[in-house]
Amino acid sequence: MARFLAIARLLSGRPNVSACGHSLHPGGQGRGRRDLATALRHTAQTIEMVPGDRSEWINRLRFGNILDRLPKLTLLRSCSSILTSCEFTPEDERILVAMSDGRCELLNAETGAREALFQAGTNGVLAAAISADGSRVGTASKNNLAHVWDARSGRIALVLPHPDEVTAICFSPSGPLIATGCADGFVRLWDSSGARLREVRAHTQRIGCVEFSHRGDFLASGGRDRLVKFWRVDSLERPAIRLKLKAGSCTWP
């Protein structure tokens, strides 16, 4: 029984159930969302008080009906451009969003308000990432450049030139390393000063994704050649593992 109350408290206590609903649905529907949350809480309390009662199954049905009427997703913000990537910051309070018009923004996860803008031109941003400590933002662009930004000031800290479109970027969770993937099939490793440390022709076609392992000692890459490869970061000489599949993204469990 306690799970009904837990769900009701969670939904009625979330500020975006009412506040965002009100802002996105003019005409007082925000109040409707609050009324639904209140009804959900009262129904849960009824189920809690009369377990085994003949009316319990009716209240269970009522609880499910009210829950279905609540929004499952909240529209955070409507953007005027195609979104190419998004991810939460380490503290889960903001969302990093990259767009095809060259913008990359940090949005407040509760309100959708823009807190920072990272833009070096109008060339589309194909990928974006944020460092494990939240201090740096990386963007990969169609103009053959990857940028590393100071997340607080919004200023460019590093510019990493490539011979073709930069299609992927990620930060090592255990150090200052940055990995980029390129349309030429190469994976490149960079240090915190912007010096290129190593590179390897990882794929015969355009790279779609790169991702460090949680300890930072391996790097995964996926490309349009339908291969996923795992590389030792300290060498990048030969892939430690090679899998054949249709790779659109790669991440470590």
Give the tens place of pLDDT for each residue, 111-126: 888 999 999 888 899 9
Q: Provide the 3-class DSSP secondary structure of residue 5.
A: helix
Q: Would you say residue 78 lies in a domain? A: no
Co-location of 28 and 138 in the same domain: no
Containing domain of residue 63, as a range? 2-69
Q: Would you give the DSSP letter of residue 166?
A: E
Co-location of 98 and 204 in the same domain: yes
Co-location of 24 and 90 in the same domain: no
CATH number at residue 231: 2.130.10.10
Q: Would you say residue 214 lies in a domain? A: yes
Of 69, 103, 126, the domain-final residue: 69
Q: Give 52-88 pLDDT, tens digit per residue.
A: 666 776 777 776 776 666 655 555 566 778 888 889 9
pLDDT of residue 76: 58
pTM for this model (two decimals)? 0.67
pLDDT of residue 24: 31
DSSP-assigned states of every residue in 165-225: -EEEEEE-TTSS-EEEEETTSEEEEE-TTS-EEEEEE--SS-EEEEEE-TTSSEEEEEETT
Co-location of 64 and 116 in the same domain: no
Q: Give 131-178 pLDDT, tens digit per residue.
A: 999 999 999 999 999 999 999 999 999 999 999 999 999 999 988 999
Instruction: For residue 253, give every residue at least 6 positions away whose Cβ sits within 8 Å of its Cβ, in sequence order, or none.
Output: none
Q: Would you say residue 194 lies in a domain? A: yes
